[in-house]
Amino acid sequence: MVCLPLLKLTVNARYFVGDEMILVETFLYLHICTWWRYGDSMPIMKMHTTGEVFNDGTIIEMVHDPVKDKAEFVVATKQNITVSDQHKEGNKTYLPYSACNNLIKNKIVLLPSQSVEYSSDRQLVSDLHVFVNKYVDLDPLFEKLCVHYILLSWVYDGFNQLPYFRKCGDLGTGKTRFLTVIGSVCYKPIFASGSSSTAALFHILDQFRGTLVLDEADFRYSDERADLTKVLNNGFTKGYPVLRCAFNKNKEFDPVGYQVYGCKLVASRKHFDDPALESRFITEKARFENLRIGIPNELPNSFDAEALELRNKLLTYRLRWLEHFTNNKTSQKIEYIEPRANQIFSPLLELTADEEFRKEIIELAFQVSRQIKIDRAASIEYHVLSVIQSLLSRNERISIGDIAKFVSREFADFHERRITAKWIGYIVSKSLCLKTFKAGGRFYVSGDQQSLLKQLYLRYGVN
């Protein structure tokens, strides 16, 4: 029995300090021998978390009481909701992060303090409307969308894809107020700026799995731009972590994957250059008008208490509805719109039964879909397809050189780079996936690809 406490201590040190697997396997072997000899149980692994969802439907969520400065878990099973300072599941003991943790102490991450009942979902939505409308001036439809995005953030892990929300405009247009108000009632908001360490953001998002609230997302340096863009690109769809190279102490290649999936609130002065990233956002552009009467210049002292009260009710909303959205999602696909527009608006349709609001969401989805097609009409792919359609109406096959010549003549003003046959060949074969063949030293596009060409004409709006 003397070796058993030492064995448990070593396993704990391995977890928190990070000893190599060969060492752990040796001690586990010794422990198994001890268990066989003395009948003791397997070692308990302790790990810190802010929340977990288990296979039997049990949900644990970390709460922080700012008055008592105490952190603990709300544990929700199918029978009841209890409070505990730890939770055991199998051979693991889950512990909340300390209330002294800098992220919590400095209000970088905000948590509820307890689970509080609310009268109805409709009343909860109404309370959120009152709160948002009281402190931030938004377009009425965008305000409705923000309120439902707050709800979505609390059950985000029940969905496979998520939209991002953004306020875009110049200085003094209310971007930071938007982030502060909306972010304060989202699920485990993580407040950061575009100048934050990307390594820190990877770790915080991976450990806390909350809503990233990102201010000044106009990245100054190329490496920051690349890393933060990866967070935004990978965080849109479940199951795509950001991978980083790492080696263990034995110099064995051991890459680390950081989970960055989750809701994102962003404020920026300009739109992103990458069209794919830009299409992930539902954006309100700044209005150059006087603030609506009643919006305070400074947030009052009561703001934090109001936000905490709503977070406590929203925690109950998560405990009540997460399993439903995980297991019982209905098809909310909107017909005849772009796939990306469907991806960003379908989750919001899942959250409301208000038919009038659903019609507004669908109409907005059609507007976004039309804008995507308009943006495509300014792309090189659209211009190449337009020329191909025109030339194939007169010839069975057309050369890449001829396509380049006509694109240059008709659309050169739309593009900064010089239009060459090499570039057009790349667009034809790689971007549009059209088959080419070589004859007489020249490359040609064959006209026997009508099925694919019809799909491409439809996708890019070529008439």
- CATH code, domain with 127: 3.40.50.300
- pLDDT of 198 > 80? The answer is no
**Is there a domain that residue 174 lies in?**
yes
Does the pLDDT of residue 288 top 80, yes or no? no
In single-letter form, the type of residue at position 209 comes to: R
For 295-327, the pLDDT digits (tens) are: 999 999 999 999 999 999 999 999 999 999 998
φ, ψ of residue 261 to 5 degrees: the values are -70, 135
Same domain flag for 57 and 176: no
- Number of structural domains, the chain? 5
Q: Are 284 and 298 found together in one domain?
A: yes
Whether 72 has a pLDDT exceeding 90, the answer reads yes
In a domain, 116, yes or no: no
Q: Is the pLDDT of residue 368 over 80?
A: yes
Give pLDDT, residue 336: 84
Phi-psi region of 39 (alpha: psi -120 to 50; beta: other; left: phi over 0): left
Q: Are residues 134 and 101 in the same domain?
A: no
- pLDDT-derived band at 231, boundaries 50, 70, 90: confident
Residues 88 and 138 reside in one and the same domain: no
Are 197 and 309 in a shared domain?
yes
Do the Cβ atoms of 52 and 63 come closer than 8 Å?
Answer: no
- Average pLDDT (33-59) is 73
Residue 221's pLDDT is what?
44
The domain that holds 433 is classified in CATH as: 1.10.10
pTM of the full predicted structure?
Answer: 0.81
What confidence tier does 200 reach under pLDDT thresholds 50, 70, 90?
confident
Question: Is residue 175's pLDDT more than 80?
Answer: yes
Note whether 90 and 197 are same-domain residues.
no
Question: What is the number of helices (H) and of strands (E) in the chain?
Answer: 16, 17
CA dihedral of residues 84, 90, 92, 96 (deg, nearest 10): -20
Instruction: Quote the CA–CA distance of 325 and 317 in Å, as a whole number.
Output: 12
Close Cβ partners of 40 (under 8 Å, ≥ 6 residues apart): 4, 34
Question: Do 283 and 415 belong together in one domain?
Answer: no
Q: Could you tell me if 252 and 280 lie in one domain?
A: yes
pLDDT score of 371: 86
Instruction: Tell me, yes or no, whether 97 and 178 share the same domain.
Output: no
Flag whether pLDDT at 41 surpasses 80.
Answer: no
How far, in Å, CA of 4 to CA of 81, rounded? 35
What is the model's pLDDT at position 32? 36
> Is 111 contained in some domain?
no
Q: Are the CB atoms for 189 and 210 separated by under 8 Å?
A: yes
82 plus 190 within the same structural domain: no
For residue 247, being part of any structural domain is answered with yes
Is residue 18 pLDDT above 70, yes or no? no
307 and 292 fall within a common domain: yes
Using N-to-C axis directions, what is the helix angle for 175-183 and 121-135, rounded to 10°? 150
**Model confidence at 247: pLDDT above 90:** no
Give percent of the chain above pLDDT 70.
87
| pLDDT range class, residue 27, cuts 50, 70, 90 | very low
Cα dihedral 311/315/317/322 (nearest 10) = 140
- The residue among 78, 105, 132 that closes a domain is 105
Residue 330 confidence (pLDDT): 66
Range of the domain at 55: 48-105
Q: Give the mean model confidence (pLDDT) for residues 235-258.
A: 85
- Return all residues near 206 (Cβ < 8 A) that are at least 6 apart: 241, 258, 259, 260
Residue ending a domain, among 56, 78, 105, is 105
Q: What pLDDT, on a 0 to 100 scale, did the predictor assign at position 144?
A: 96
DSSP track, 229-255: HHHHHHTTBTT-PEEE--B-TT--B--
